[in-house]
Structure 1
Amino acid sequence: MSDLAPRQNVRFDRDGTTISGYLQLPPGGRGPGLIVIQEWWGLDDHMVGVVDRFATEGFVALAPDLYGGRVTHGVDEAGQLAGSLSEEAAAGALAGAVDYLLEQEAVTSEKVGAVGYCMGGGFVLLLATERPDSIGAVVPYYGVGHLPGSYAAIAAPVQGHYGETDQMYPVDAAHAQEQQIRDEAGVEVEYFYYPAGHAFANPDDHLGTYDAASAELAWTRTLDFLHAQLG
């Protein structure tokens, strides 16, 4: 559609709200469904590349655009965009994206996986508590903000990826979160900790914290986990 923002290629309505996003199919045309939740920069070229990369590995991957086409690479503006985002509206958009993905003939899994980065890493855990019926695997990467107060409703296994020198979400908080999920949800939980800072898996390196070795190891672990849980 010509009126979509450059990084959007799908649009769908849920409960009277129009949701846009970026969808990519795997080379074979079919595969397990995967929701990819953006960082606070927006649905930028890096996040589109992540979706493409997951599709290449066999997933039908969809990144809902929580900012409606807005993108920034400035920390102050990113903070403003994230801060002005309605958690209720964003959670509704994510739930709508889950339903949309499950309706696609290309999706072979009964449930979808969900991977989130930075701001999206918080939302991915929130989504897992709100849609336990439809989420089959949960992967937060250094999630900040928008965390649920309780993880008891999570029904899917969780694999987390966090930096030991993260200044935005300290490693002690990540350890505590890991234990809280295990205690409250009773699901399989495995968090991995890397000798790196926040957003270590983003090669665009807006924070100067990209760590190639940690990023590649986390990517391999994520793929193995998602394929094991979703097919």
Structure 2
Amino acid sequence: MGTALIFKRPDNGDASGYLANAASGNAPGVVVIHAVWGLTDHIKAVCDRFALAGFDALAPDLYNGEVVPFNDLHAADLKMKSLDLIDATTQSVRGAAQYLARNGTKVGLTGFCLGGALTIIGAAKVPELAAGVVFYGIPARHAAKPIDVGIPLQAHFANKDDWCTPRMVDGFAEEMNAAGKSLEVFRYDAEHGFVNEQLPCHNRTAAEVAWGRTTGFFKKHLG
């Protein structure tokens, strides 16, 4: 449904990604940030689904064409740790947001795992955004402080998650609340990565509930 795309970063460098357009013109946009595996077929399918829901969706390829196999956790961890999170957010993610906002439409941001953490960083550092939806990812506090978040956020977390733990979620929610920021938090009796149908941890019921909440949130804030 979608297509490969080359777009400009704010530093005028080139970035690549996957774009799926809604049927109607001037649709609101959603930037979709991939997980530690890279720009997989799952992320492309998420973009396609956003397009069917009435959003133009663009997933920047932060790994420059490399996709890590789902069964290679070690390689995924190394790839994630080699990524400059601030550059990825303020350049590739922001460039994607600027591309979607070029006709004056509102743009949201969402991401999974690594992408969830970058969504929070983007909420603090990308001025083109109007709303964000986080999936089971929280960055290190030095990368994005809750006080700097400038948009409403919705967040989805798994109760059986040893990477983005319930305790981390509690701390993040408390800091957002103390900073007076807008945050909706939803928790699911599921495991990390529960939205991804290509993983054994996929939980269809939780994923569908989260999808309905996500699209409703974006329709509210993006139009």
**Length-normalised TM-score, structure 1:** 0.89
SS in 1 for 2:39: coil
Equivalent residue, structure 1, for 2:20: 24
Residues 30 and 109 in structure 2, CA contact (< 8 A), matched pair in contact too:
yes
C-alpha distance in 1 between matches for 2:38 and 2:16: 13
Partner of residue 83, structure 1: 81
2:110 counterpart letter in structure 1: V
Tell me the equivalent position of 2:101. 102
What is the alpha-carbon distance in structure 2 between the residues aligned to residue 224 and residue 154 of structure 1? 21
Aligned residue for 1:176, secondary structure, equals helix
Aligned residues: 217
- Give the secondary-structure state (helix, strand or coil) at the position aligned to 2:63: coil
Q: 1:210 is aligned with what amino acid? A: H
Secondary structure of residue in 2 paired with 1:196: strand
| 2:222 corresponds to 1:230 | yes
Q: Distance in 1 between matches of 2:176 and 2:193?
A: 22
Residue pair 2:94, 2:128 contacting (<8 A) in 1 also: no
Q: Could you tell me how far apart the structure 2 residues matched to 1:229 and 1:16 are?
A: 29
**1:67-107 Cα shifts (integer Å, max 9, x gaps):** 0010012211111111111123212211111112211x4xx
Please list the CA deviations of residues 172-199 of structure 1 after superposition, one character each: whole Å capped at 9, or x if unmatched: 1112111212222x23211000001101
> What amino acid sits opposite 1:93 in the alignment?
S
Q: Distance in 2 between matches of 1:215 and 1:118?
A: 14
Match of 1:202 among 188, 196, 203: 196
Distance 2:78 2:3 in 1: 22
Q: Any idea what SS the aligned residue of 2:151 has?
A: coil
Match of 2:29 in 1: 33
Q: Hey, what does 1:188 align to over in structure 2?
A: 182
Tell me if the contact between 2:147 and 2:181 (Cα under 8 Å) persists in the aligned partners. Answer: no
Q: Unpaired runs of 5+ in structure 1?
A: 1-6
Which residue of 113, 120, 144 maps to 2:115? 120
Following the alignment from structure 1 to structure 2, what is the Cα–Cα distance between the partners of residues 215 and 8?
25
**Which residue of structure 2 aligns with residue 152 of structure 1?**
147
**Contact residue 32 and residue 60 of structure 1 kept, 8 A:** yes
Q: Determine what percentage of the aligned residue pairs are the same residue.
A: 34
Whole-angstrom CA distance in 1 between matches of 2:139 and 2:148: 18
Relative distance call for 1:88 and 1:157 in structure 2 (3 A) is closer
Alignment pair present for 1:218 and 2:210: yes
Q: Is the counterpart of residue 142 in structure 1 residue 141 in structure 2?
A: no
TM-score by length of 2: 0.92
1:144 is displaced (CA, Å) by 4.4
1:128-147 CA-partner distances (Å, limit 9, x unpaired): 1002x321111110014466
Offset at residue 29 of structure 1 (A): 3.6
Q: Match of 2:174?
A: 179
Give the distance between the partners of 2:3 and 2:66, measured in 1 at CA.
Answer: 11
For the residues of structure 2 that align with 1:71 and 1:100, how far apart are their CA atoms? 24
Q: Provide the alpha-carbon RMSD of the alignment.
A: 1.6
